[in-house]
């Protein structure tokens, strides 16, 4: 299964989600991430790097914009917010059947948005990491049940 995580700039949430899921080493799962407004080649945010290092999760990341090729590659597209989902589907309506917010796909929550830590302090990034970690546990469980 090919999973594509999408956020705004591809420097905080989607690369953290990708790193967490990759760290689980699930068989036959490939992961990529991108941003709706990503500047190609930007590094991961410093606080995202710190939080991943604290959890001994390795990562190799430079930001990427969404591409049609990657959308076609993906079996599952998971956005960090309902706004990301709406923006993506306005431009690429053909991927609607495989596009969900991460929370919509994994939980029964009515709040569909993952906390955006951009510009926040390290504690904000830790909260986002914890939220993503819990969601990745739920995603792993759902994938293994299918």
Model confidence, pTM: 0.97
The 8-class DSSP code of residue 43 comes to B
Domain that holds residue 8: 2-145
- Distances from the Cα of 22 to the Cαs of 42, 55, 140, 144, in angstroms? 20, 13, 11, 15
Q: How confident is the model at residue 83 (pLDDT cuts 50, 70, 90)?
A: very high
The burial of 90, by beta-carbon neighbours within 10 Å (0-12 exposed, 13-18 middle, 19 or more buried), is given as exposed
Q: What is the mean pLDDT of residues 35-45?
A: 96
- pLDDT of 105 reads 97
Number of domains in the chain: 1
> Catalytic amino acids?
7, 13, 116
- Distances from the Cα of 107 to the Cαs of 45, 94, 110, 136, in angstroms? 27, 24, 9, 11
Q: What is the mean pLDDT of residues 30-51?
A: 97
Please give the full DSSP string across 107-122, using - where no structure is assigned: ---S-------TT--H
Mean pLDDT of the chain: 97
Q: What is the CATH number of the domain that holds 87?
A: 3.40.50.2300
Helix (H) or strand (E) holding 30: strand 30-35
The closest of 80, 91, 16, 22 to 53, measured between CA atoms, is 16
The burial of 135, by beta-carbon neighbours within 10 Å (0-12 exposed, 13-18 middle, 19 or more buried), is given as buried
pLDDT at 146 over 90: no
The closest of 110, 79, 81, 100 to 5, measured between CA atoms, is 79
- pLDDT of 103 reads 97
């Amino acid at each position: 299964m090919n999973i594509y995580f999408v956020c705004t700039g591809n420097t905080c949430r989607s690369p953290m989600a990708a790193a967490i899921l990759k760290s689980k080493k699930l068989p036959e799962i490939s992961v990529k991430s991108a941003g709706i407004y990503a500047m190609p080649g930007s590094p991961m945010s410093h606080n995202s790097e710190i939080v991943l290092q604290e959890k001994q999760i390795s990562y190799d990341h430079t930001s990427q914009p969404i591409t049609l090729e990657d959308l076609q590659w993906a079996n599952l597209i998971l956005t960090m917010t309902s706004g990301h989902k709406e923006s993506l589907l306005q431009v690429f309506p053909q991927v609607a059947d495989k596009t969900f917010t991460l929370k919509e796909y994994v939980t029964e929550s009515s709040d569909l948005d993952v906390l955006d830590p951009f510009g926040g302090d390290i504690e904000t990034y830790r909260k986002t990491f914890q939220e993503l970690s819990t969601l990745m546990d739920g995603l792993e469980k759902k994938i293994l049940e299918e």
